[in-house]
Amino acid sequence: MHFDCDCHVHTRRSFCGADDVTVEALVDLMPERGIKRFAVTDHSSHFYFDDTESARNVDIVLDPNKLAASHDRAAKAIRDHLAMIRTFSAKGVLAGLEVDVTFSGDLVLPPGIKDELDVVVGAVHWLPGLSREHKPPLEQVARDFLRLTFALLEQGVDILAHPTRIFRWNGLEVPERVVNPVIEAAIANNVALEINAHSEDPDAFFVRRCLEKGAKIAIGTDAHTLEAFGDFSYHRNILSQCGVSEADLKTILFSPGKESTIMK
């Protein structure tokens, strides 16, 4: 099962990216990894702050007032970054961002930037009061998850990253009751659901439901290192478990970029 497009890749511009992950280095690896196109999707929130600690502090990252005060600065930094990425567009590099959602349902993104992107990857990385050390009742977590995920899906993102990771990364089982609503909302809003190698999310149960309901699947490594770029072993494993063949890929996969939309 061959994949030639990676929809979710980080560089060292994300604080979580390895120092040697540059666009140049990734482009050099494309022939070896069999990749024809990939999207650089660094974290939009990281353009607002100078340090890793701030960019990982939910009270700072998702504070609408703090974000608004830094929109102009972030917009300039993002546009400079996008301009650099676009110098590689002829080689199949797409300009994107991975974008969080605040607890009030707004994108962590300066005004006007979304329309300048080839790919918008939406992600729910935090829920109110939830951490590995503190877990609200699962019913509350599920409600907050659906509320914020729906808000994200309704704001013009192309891909929902690692759709159920927020549960697993905080030591919780994914409630079965959230699966169908998320998939149905993604379909209604023309958003692809990602199989994410970095997080090994979602599982085969979720992917089977996607296939049954006709949702589009996005292939993303969410690579933070050069080694992870183009490693599609998790995607092959999950899709094989779900009975997907090479011949099926054309009809189920999302194809990114303004020149090609989700295939109907």
Alpha carbon 178 to its chain's center: 19
Confidence (pLDDT) at 263: 33
- Judged by DSSP in three states, 192 sits in strand
Cα separation, 158 vs 102, whole angstroms: 18
Tell the residue number behind the tokens 């309704």, with chain if given.
Answer: 154
Helix axes 138-153, 179-188, angle to 10 degrees: 10
Query: What are the backbone angles phi and psi of residue 246, rounded to the nearest 5°?
Result: -55, -40
Confidence (pLDDT) at 54: 76
- Judged by DSSP in three states, 114 sits in helix
Cα separation, 132 vs 128, whole angstroms: 12
Confidence (pLDDT) at 262: 35
Residue 202: asked if its preceding bond is cis (omega within 30°), the reply is: yes
Residues paired with residue 43 on neighbouring β-strands, in sequence order:
98
Cα separation, 155 vs 195, whole angstroms: 21
Alpha carbon 238 to its chain's center: 18
CA nearest neighbour of 237 among 209, 185, 177, 196: 196
Confidence (pLDDT) at 41: 98
Confidence (pLDDT) at 260: 40
Confidence (pLDDT) at 264: 28
Tens-of-pLDDT digits for all 264 residues of the chain? 999 999 999 999 998 888 999 999 999 999 999 999 999 999 999 999 887 777 788 888 888 898 999 999 999 999 999 999 999 999 999 999 999 999 999 999 999 999 999 999 999 999 999 988 999 999 999 999 999 999 999 999 999 999 999 999 999 999 999 999 999 999 999 999 999 999 999 999 999 999 999 999 999 999 999 999 999 999 999 999 999 999 999 999 999 975 443 332
CA nearest neighbour of 3 among 183, 242, 240, 231: 231
- Cβ proximity of 166 and 124 under 8 Å: yes
Confidence (pLDDT) at 15: 84
Confidence (pLDDT) at 55: 76
- The reported pTM is 0.93
Classify domain 5-252 at the CATH superfamily level.
Answer: Metal-dependent hydrolases (3.20.20.140)
Confidence (pLDDT) at 258: 52
